[in-house]
């Protein structure tokens, strides 16, 4: 049991005894006990909490925590090929400078007057995303891609009052699990049934026949991803949209925005609601703490009415300037509690600003160039790996930055291979054996603009040794 009493603390000014006494006197009580009377004795904890004594010195604290952190092996020391929804991209120094500005770090819910800069950065995020997506309505992001997809599915269901969604079999299992938590209310009200659409085992594309079979008058929405979880680029967008719309359903498309310098935005092949992940736009991986999910639609009041998330709108001031406010705030829980559209709250404000700065830095040319750098490097890596005997890559050539590597002919398991790579300071691709057993001993590799030819050569050589 810790015994150290804290009578002064750098974070708590009012611990000074005279000040505290003066305040208590003004309140009209003798001591703190006089104010605790509202908490019945039977509910009180009559002992000190049981954990370590404080490290009051900042230096001691820094040493202590840094020592624990140093047990991690970061991707700056190891060569990383893991992706699967959180990707290692380069984060420009300007982005880091801006997101660490203490004004942004410590701001919260202030209005457009005292926090104009925050609101403007949010509007700029929505505006630049709108240009990447060629869509007029973009919301502030929610927690992650999985929640964004879930909200999109629920928006569609509220719009057409239908209770079934079709989701690709090639989907991140984590994302699917989140979607289930949001949609599968079991026998409670509002349940949305989830059906999986099969894929073509050769190409990874949506199996159109299976889609057609599963579409019915009950289908509220069809959700596809482009690129898919396994990296493949879906070519049949317009056909999927036609089938979906013929059934009176909404087409939802999940995307990785860093692909949009090369890939056409989903609105051009019939996407009604677009969602996806913003982590690729200038946000460090942060052990997965860098993710955030966006939602976008046409600027149609029917869609706007169903967003659960905050929507920042520009407006004018009484002297002809501009300011910002929340559009149709009355649809949210803050106005109408359980009558609101799903829910929102504190999500990923800082990452929204990071993504805005990143998009501004890239501009139209660099967003295309970074797409080219990624797709060429990933295909180069795929080619090099494919040349190794015993290794086969799947779903070529239409993929963006992630691809599936199969080890069936090597006689090794993905687990064996990844262990070998780890011993050589390489994080191999994500094992997908349990999630996609039909793909055998396979793993998902991610290559981005950060991977040099030397990195790829090192991977190739080490893999060569691994399967010997």
Partner 1 sequence: MRKYHAPVWNEPIIMEMGHKGERGIAIPVIEEDIQKSTEDSEFYIPNKMIRKSLPNIPEISQPHILRHYLRLSQQTLGMALNIDLGMGTCTMKHSPLINEELVKSPYFTEIHPLQDDSTIQGILEIIYKFSRYICEISGMDEFTFQPGGGALGIFTNACLIRKYHEINNDLPERNEIITTLFSHPADAACPATAGFKIITLYPNSDTGLPDIEALKAAVSKHTAGLMITNPEDTGIFNPMIDEFVKIIHEAGGLCAYDQANSNALFGITRAREAGFDMCHFNIHKAFSSPHGCMGPACGAVGVRKDLTEFLPVPRVTFDGSKYHLDYDRPNSIGKMREFMGNIETILRAYSWIMSMGPDGLRKVAETSIININYLIKKLTNIRGITLAYPKQNIRLDQARFSLKELKDETDVGTDDVARRIVDFGVQEYFTSHHPWVVQEPFLPEPCETYSKEDIDYWVEIIRYVCEEARTNPETVKTAPHSQTIKKINTKPLNDPNQWALTWRAYIKKKRKK
Name which of residues 374 to 403 contact partner 1 (CB under 8 A): 375-377, 379-380, 383, 397-400
- CB of 103 or CB of 217, closer to partner 1: 103
Question: Which of 163, 174, 194, 440 forms a contact with partner 1 (CB under 8 A)?
Answer: 174
Q: At 297, give phi and psi (nearest 5°).
A: -150, 180
- CB of 248 or CB of 325, closer to partner 1: 325
The tokens describing 446, both together, are: 């991610």
Residue 446 CB, nearest approach to partner 1 (Å): 9
CA pair distance 319, 322, nearest whole angstrom:
9
Is residue 343 involved in binding partner 1 (CB under 8 A)? Answer: yes
Residue 106, SS3?
helix
Q: How many CB atoms lie within 10 A of CB 90?
A: 12
Q: At 71, give phi and psi (nearest 5°).
A: -75, -10
Unique residue bearing structure tokens 């929405």: 221
Question: Which of 159, 194, 196, 262 forms a contact with partner 1 (CB under 8 A)?
Answer: 262
Residue 412 CB, nearest approach to partner 1 (Å): 17
Question: Which of 157, 165, 172, 228 forms a contact with partner 1 (CB under 8 A)?
Answer: 172
Instruction: Dump the DSSP string for 159-195.
Output: HH---EEEEESSS-HHHHHHHHHHH--TTSTT--EEE
Is residue 160 involved in binding partner 1 (CB under 8 A)? Answer: no
Residue 211 CB, nearest approach to partner 1 (Å): 17
**CA 411 → CA 193, 198, 253, 404, 438, distances in Å?**
40, 28, 38, 17, 17
- CB of 8 or CB of 246, closer to partner 1: 8
Residue 49 CB, nearest approach to partner 1 (Å): 4
The tokens describing 75, both together, are: 């991707």
- CB of 181 or CB of 213, closer to partner 1: 181
**Maximum alpha-carbon separation in the chain:** 83
Q: Which residues from 4-33 bind partner 1, rule CB under 8 A?
A: 4-6, 9, 11-15, 19-20, 22-24, 26-29, 32
Unique residue bearing structure tokens 């396994």: 230
Unique residue bearing structure tokens 């090369």: 262
- CB of 220 or CB of 352, closer to partner 1: 352
Is residue 181 involved in binding partner 1 (CB under 8 A)? Answer: yes
Is residue 61 involved in binding partner 1 (CB under 8 A)? Answer: yes
Residue 440 CB, nearest approach to partner 1 (Å): 20
* Total residues belonging to the chain: 468
CA pair distance 269, 265, nearest whole angstrom:
8
Is residue 437 involved in binding partner 1 (CB under 8 A)? Answer: no
Is residue 161 involved in binding partner 1 (CB under 8 A)? Answer: no
Residue 297, SS3?
strand
The tokens describing 431, both together, are: 């094992």
Is residue 185 involved in binding partner 1 (CB under 8 A)? Answer: yes
Is residue 347 involved in binding partner 1 (CB under 8 A)? Answer: yes
CA pair distance 154, 182, nearest whole angstrom:
8
Unique residue bearing structure tokens 């090597």: 410
CA pair distance 246, 360, nearest whole angstrom:
39
Could you tell me which of 285, 234, 284 has the C-alpha nearest to residue 255? 234
Is residue 448 involved in binding partner 1 (CB under 8 A)? Answer: no
Is residue 287 involved in binding partner 1 (CB under 8 A)? Answer: yes
Strand runs (DSSP E) across 188-257, as ranges? 193-197, 219-225, 250-255
Is residue 445 involved in binding partner 1 (CB under 8 A)? Answer: no
- CB of 6 or CB of 216, closer to partner 1: 6
Contact region with partner 1 (CB under 8 A), list: 155-163, 188-196, 216-224, 458-466:
188-196
Q: Which residues from 348-377 bind partner 1, rule CB under 8 A?
A: 348-353, 356-357, 359-373, 375-377
Contact region with partner 1 (CB under 8 A), list: 158-166, 242-250, 304-312, 459-467:
304-312
Could you tell me which of 201, 203, 204, 208 has the C-alpha nearest to residue 171? 204
Q: How many CB atoms lie within 10 A of CB 270?
A: 17
The tokens describing 251, both together, are: 């087409």
Contact region with partner 1 (CB under 8 A), list: 38-46, 155-163, 211-219, 241-249:
38-46
CA pair distance 305, 352, nearest whole angstrom:
22
CA pair distance 396, 232, nearest whole angstrom:
8
Residue 269 CB, nearest approach to partner 1 (Å): 7
Is residue 97 involved in binding partner 1 (CB under 8 A)? Answer: yes
Q: Which residues from 194-223 bind partner 1, rule CB under 8 A?
A: none
Question: Which of 45, 202, 217, 438 forms a contact with partner 1 (CB under 8 A)?
Answer: 45
Q: At 452, give phi and psi (nearest 5°).
A: -85, 170
Residue 147, SS3?
helix
Binding mask 218-257 for partner 1 (x = CB under 8 A): --------x------xxx-xx-------------------
Is residue 334 involved in binding partner 1 (CB under 8 A)? Answer: yes
Is residue 459 involved in binding partner 1 (CB under 8 A)? Answer: no
- CB of 38 or CB of 217, closer to partner 1: 38
Residue 255 CB, nearest approach to partner 1 (Å): 11
């Amino acid at each position: 049991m810790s015994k150290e009493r804290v009578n002064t603390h750098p974070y708590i000014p009012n611990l000074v005894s005279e000040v505290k006494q003066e305040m208590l006197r003004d309140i009209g009580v003798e001591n703190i006990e006089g104010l605790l009377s509202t908490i019945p004795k039977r509910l009180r904890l009559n002992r000190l909490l049981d954990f370590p004594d404080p490290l009051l010195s900042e230096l001691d604290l820094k040493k202590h925590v840094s020592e624990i952190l140093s047990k991690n092996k970061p991707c700056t020391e190891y060569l990383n090929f893991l992706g699967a929804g959180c990707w290692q991209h380069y984060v420009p120094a300007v982005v880091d400078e801006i997101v660490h500005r203490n004004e942004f770090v410590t701001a919260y819910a202030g209005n457009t007057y005292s926090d104009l800069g925050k609101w403007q950065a949010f509007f700029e995020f929505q505006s630049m995303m709108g240009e990447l997506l060629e869509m007029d309505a973009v919301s502030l992001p929610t927690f992650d891609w999985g929640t964004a997809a879930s909200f999109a599915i629920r928006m569609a269901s509220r719009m057409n009052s239908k209770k079934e969604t079709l989701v690709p079999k090639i989907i991140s299992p984590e994302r699917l699990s989140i979607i289930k938590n949001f949609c599968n209310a079991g026998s409670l009200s509002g349940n949305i049934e989830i059906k999986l659409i099969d894929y073509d085992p050769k190409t990874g594309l949506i199996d159109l026949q299976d889609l057609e079979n599963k579409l019915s008058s009950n289908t509220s929405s069809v959700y596809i991803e482009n690129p898919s979880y396994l990296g493949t680029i879906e070519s049949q967008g317009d056909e999927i949209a036609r089938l979906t719309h013929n059934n009176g359903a909404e087409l939802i498309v999940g995307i990785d925005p860093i692909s949009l310098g090369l890939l056409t935005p989903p609105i051009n092949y019939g996407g009604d609601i677009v969602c996806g992940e913003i982590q690729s736009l200038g946000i460090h991986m942060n052990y997965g703490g860098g993710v955030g999910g966006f939602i976008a639609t046409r600027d149609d009041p029917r869609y706007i009415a169903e967003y659960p998330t905050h929507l920042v709108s520009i407006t004018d001031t009484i002297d002809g300037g501009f300011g910002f406010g929340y559009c149709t705030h009355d649809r949210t829980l803050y106005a109408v509690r359980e009558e609101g559209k799903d829910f929102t709250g504190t999500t990923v404000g800082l990452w929204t600003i990071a993504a805005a700065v990143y998009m501004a830095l890239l501009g139209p040319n660099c967003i295309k160039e970074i797409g080219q750098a990624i797709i060429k490097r990933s295909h180069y890596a795929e080619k090099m790996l494919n040349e190794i005997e015993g290794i086969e890559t799947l779903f070529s050539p239409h993929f963006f930055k992630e691809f599936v590597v199969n080890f069936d002919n090597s006689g090794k398991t993905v687990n064996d291979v990844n262990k070998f790579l780890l011993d050589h300071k390489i994080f191999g691709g994500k094992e997908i054996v349990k999630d996609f057993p039909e793909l055998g001993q396979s793993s998902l590799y991610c290559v981005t603009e950060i991977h040099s030819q030397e990195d790829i050569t090192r991977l190739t050589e080490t893999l060569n040794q691994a399967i010997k």
